Chain A
Amino acid sequence: MHEASIGQSIVKTVLCEAEKQKAVKVESVEIEIGELTFLGQEQVEFWIKTGFESTIAESAKIIFKKIKAGIRCNKCGFQGNIRIKEDPQYHMMLPTFSCPKCGSSEVAIIRGKDAFIRRIQITQE
């Protein structure tokens, strides 16, 4: 739901950096989106492209990567992906915020809550 503000923030950061680097063209932008952010990739891309219109980033290739949600168990020390499985009752994919190894609910989310602008590729004069 906040794809517009995230998209605008990406546009601002990329164009600021490009200007700082005296770029004449932004070739590509690489973005990573965490599984737990609820950001719709298609909507984020729409807002970035809208923001890039009539700028040096207009033809930039936008590359998206996904960050899998990860947890750390405070009880047994397990580190890995969270369990997401289909629930036959609802026919929905439901995540389980507990340790898949020992079942403890004392888990910390260590991956998947964030989104990053990893890198940009630019051409200078």
Chain B
Amino acid sequence: MKKLFTEDGKSIEIKLNENLYGKNSELAEKNLEILNKQGIHAIDILGSIGSGKTSIIQQLVARLHTTFRTAVIAGDLTTTIDADRIKNRGAKVIQINTDGGCHLDANLVGRGLETLDLKSLDLILVENVGNLICPSSFPVGTHQRIVVVSTTEGPYMIVKHPYIFKDATVVVINKKDMAKAMELELDQFRKDALKIKPGIKVVYTNARTGEGIPELIEKLNISKE
């Protein structure tokens, strides 16, 4: 910290340079370090409410838990609905409630990690709070980020939330079966995503039937450390 007297000689200027997101970034790095040390791959799953995050996770867990010892950290504002849906699918599930907060942060996820037996895990899926804005500013310390958008949310979900894609590795366009009913051109989602982040991987899914989930798994390219 640097103190400087201003011209009037009465008031002083104090340089703080305090990063308001600094603490979260530090904790996110710490989380990643802990995961790397244990050889665990972690994926943060983002998307708005009702886009199909939980259904995608259910499908991923069902297919992956025999190869990767999997845990799910389910973030929600107040309920345990999502955690209950994922339980009994072959993964350990822990619930984090943000008590109304609009995003998970590295501190909450770090506390979640403390409650898991990390030595017995290969993969952790983090279900973030349903929101396409705030979570983008709060990395939680995962290796990858998936953004889920669905056709029933309308045609503009990607272009209206471009910044959520900055750290995303894969975009999932869910409810592909509903595109016709919504009178949408599916390929437009891919074009929009590539316009914002060239090279981003795009997968079309129907999380109810599991269609597209094998392609998603392939694009996630998870391997045992």
B-binding residues in A (CB < 8 A): 1-2, 6, 9-10, 13, 17, 21, 27, 36-38, 87, 90, 92, 94-98, 103-106, 109, 113-124
Contacts and interface: CB of A to CB of B under 8 A. Distances in A.
A122 B11 contact: yes
A11 to B, nearest CB: 12
A87 B159 contact: yes
A94 B197 contact: no
Contacts of B133: 1, 38
B6 interface: yes
B187 to A, nearest CB: 13
Contacts of A106: 199
Contacts of B12: 21, 121-124
Contact of A94 (B17, B25, B195): B195
B131 interface: yes
A120 B199 contact: no
B36 to A, nearest CB: 18
17 contacts: A2-B102, A38-B134, A38-B163, A87-B195, A96-B195, A97-B165, A97-B197, A98-B198, A106-B199, A109-B167, A113-B21, A114-B21, A116-B20, A117-B16, A118-B16, A119-B16, A119-B17
B170 to A, nearest CB: 13
Contact of B20 (A6, A27, A90, A94): A6
B19 interface: yes
Nearest to B6: A121
Given A1-B133, A97-B198, A121-B12, 13 more contacts: A2-B102, A6-B20, A9-B20, A38-B163, A87-B159, A92-B159, A94-B159, A94-B195, A95-B166, A97-B196, A104-B199, A114-B19, A121-B13
A119 B196 contact: no
Interface of B: 6, 10-22, 25, 101-103, 131, 133-134, 136-137, 156, 159-160, 162-163, 165-167, 195-200
B199 A119 contact: no
B22 A114 contact: yes
A121 B11 CA distance: 7
A36 B161 CA distance: 11
B1 to A, nearest CB: 8
Contacts of B159: 87, 90, 92, 94
Nearest to B22: A114
Contacts of A6: 20
Most buried by A among B10, B12, B18, B195: B18
Contacts of A2: 101-103, 134, 137
A94 B194 CA distance: 12
Contact of A105 (B156, B162, B197): B197
A117 B10 CA distance: 22
A105 B199 contact: yes
A95 B161 CA distance: 10
A120 B145 CA distance: 37
